[in-house]
Structure 1
Amino acid sequence: MVQVCLNGRRSAADGAVVPLSPRELARAAAEAVTAGATEVHVHPKTPCGHDSLSPRVLAPTLEAIRERVTVPVGVTTGAWAEPDPAARLDRVRGWSVLPDFASVNWHEPGAEEVAGQLLAMGIGVEAGVWSGTDGAARFAASPLGPRVLRVLAEVTDPDPATAEASAHALLTGLGGAHGRPVLLHGEEGGTWPVLRLAGRLGLATRIGLEDTLLLPDGERAADSAQLVTEGLLQYGSFQRSS
């Protein structure tokens, strides 16, 4: 499974290729799915380009994307979009149009409460476990662990020379991950080494402008669809050779 991550915390400062509005995100999602992505992960944005958990921002984004694709669509619940844990929980409770899944970063304050609320609403939970945090230990101790959709193992090491080693350390720290599937991905310079590792290990992965703006050769990507096309080539080639 290769998920596309359309925009992440990027903004207009990262270039016009980054989709921000519901219409842009819907077009980008459709192109990425045509390229082979099997799921969509998106950060709904305010008109000013800021990540938001507001129902008034989430609903039009999800509706626009679902007009163009039929694959599962997920969103972030990152603390940067709503730093106060109680307010973040209220935002989630107020959602009227629901995503198929949502990522919850387990090292963030209030993660257990947000994940529990999502599960109660019938929304799948991606347990975001970042390298360099106590997320793996917290997730291992969580009673919600066996109920999550998958673990989103996020390698935050941007150095291409060390990202693969960081990924191995993160996977070791996750242990059995409560028996849940693992999606492994990197970011920035670590994106491509970690994607290739996911292919060798037979793990799900993701690719898109949230994780990197660059193709493996260092050229700027035209869009997430181009990254998906290249990602599937590299991911599949490593699976075939293993």
Structure 2
Amino acid sequence: MMQVCLNGPRTTADSAAVPMTPAALAEAARQAVAAGADDVHVHPKTPCGRDSLSPRVVGPVLEAIRAVVDVPVGVTTGAWAEPAPPPPPEGRGRQPDPRVERIRSWTVLPDHASVNWHESGAEDVAATLVERGVGVEAGLWSGTDGVARFARSPLAPRVLRVLAEVTDTRVGSAPATARELLAAVAAVPHGRPVLLHGWDGGAWPVLRLAVELGLDTRMGIEDTLLLPDGSPAAGNAPLIRAATAGLRPAGGG
């Protein structure tokens, strides 16, 4: 499976190729699916470019994308998209994660949503998604305690898939970091499919490793702004075309 990650936390300050509005995201998704993507991951954004979990932001993005593609569409639940309020005064108890209330308020549901397991409140966020019938992508980042937390989670066997996310952005070492992360993930008895991907300098080396190992993977503007030859990508579709070229058998058309 090849997932396209349309924008991530990036904005047009990073590149003019970053789609921001529902219409731009829908067109980017349409082109990426035509280029070979099987699944869409998107960060719905406010008009000022901030990631948001508000139903007034999430709903229009999902509707716009679904109007032009017939593949699963998922969103982020990253903690930065709904900043937690200041901690309550001592003795007042734990504040509920604001992401939980946002998810409960969604009027249009995504097919799946990613949950970064190293983030505070991840378990509550994932449980709320499951309650609403939304598939959970368990984001396990290298360099964090996400795998250890996931190993203790009763939700581990119930997630849609595991995202093995390599935060090492160095071209030379990212594949080795990926193998270490995969070994840690394999030690957890979750029984779910694994999608492996990297970021920035590690994006293409890790994608090639995922193809070599026969794992699901992803590519798009969230993960890198550059094509394999180092030239700037004009959008998500060229990245997906380059990524899916590596999936074709040798000598294939």
- Please give the TM-score of this superposition, normalised by the length of structure 2: 0.92
Q: Is the 8 A contact 1:10 1:18 kept in 2?
A: yes
2:130 to 88, 112, 119: 119
Which structure 1 residue ranges, 4+ long, deviate > 4 Å from structure 2?
A: none
For residues 249 and 139 of structure 2, the distance between their equivalents in structure 1, rounded to whole angstroms, comes to: 27
Q: Contact conserved, 1:104 with 1:126, CA < 8 A, in 2?
A: yes
Do the aligned partners of residues 156 and 236 (structure 1) sit closer, same or farther apart at CA in structure 2, a change above 3 Å counting?
farther
How far residue 173 of structure 1 moved from its aligned partner, in angstroms, is 1.1
Structure 1 segments unaligned to the other structure (5+ residues): none
Letter in 2 for 1:96: T
- Do residues 18 (structure 1) and 18 (structure 2) align? yes
State the identity as a percent.
Answer: 65
- The residue that corresponds to 2:101 in the other structure is 90
**Is residue 76 of structure 1 aligned with residue 88 of structure 2?**
no
* 1:109 corresponding residue in structure 2: 120
Indicate conservation of the 8 Å contact 1:137/1:174, yes or no. no
**How far off is 1:175 after superposition?**
2.1
8 A Cα contact 2:15 2:225, kept in partner? no
Q: In the alignment, which residue of structure 2 is the partner of 1:100?
A: 111
Other-structure match for 1:193: 205
Q: Which string of whole-angstrom CA distances, capped at 9 and with x for unpartnered residues, describes residues 207-241 of structure 1? A: 00000000111000111000000001124458x9x
Which residue of 210, 224, 229 corresponds with 1:212?
Answer: 224
Deviation of 1:88 (Å): 1.2
Structure 1 CA distance for aligned equivalents of residues 180 and 248 of structure 2: 23
- Alignment-derived partner of residue 139 in structure 1: 150
Larger radius of gyration: 2
Give per-residue Cα distances to partners, 1:6-46, cap 9 Å, x unaligned: 00000110122110000000000000000010000000000
Q: Secondary structure at the match of 1:46?
A: coil
Give deviations 1:186-226, integer Å, cap 9, x for gaps.
00000001000000110000000000000111000111000
Normalising by structure 1, report the TM-score: 0.96
Q: What is the aligned-residue RMSD (CA, Å)? A: 1.2
Letter aligned with residue 31 of structure 1: Q
* Structure 1 position 176, deviation (Å): 4.3
How far is 1:82 from its partner?
1.1
Q: Distance in 1 between matches of 2:103 and 2:118?
A: 18
Q: How far apart, in 2, do the equivalents of 1:60 and 1:176 lie?
A: 39
How many pairs were matched up?
Answer: 239
Pick one of 232, 239, 245 that aligns with 1:227.
239
Unaligned runs of 5+ residues in structure 2 are 85-95
SS in 1 for 2:75: strand
- In the alignment, the residues of structure 1 paired with residue 83 and residue 249 of structure 2 have an alpha-carbon distance, to the nearest angstrom, of 41
> 1:196 touches 1:235 (CA, 8 Å); kept in 2?
no
Deviations 1:35-94 (A, max 9, x none): 010000000000000000000000000000010001000000000111216211111111
Query: Paired residue for 2:61?
Result: 61
- Greater percentage in helix: 1
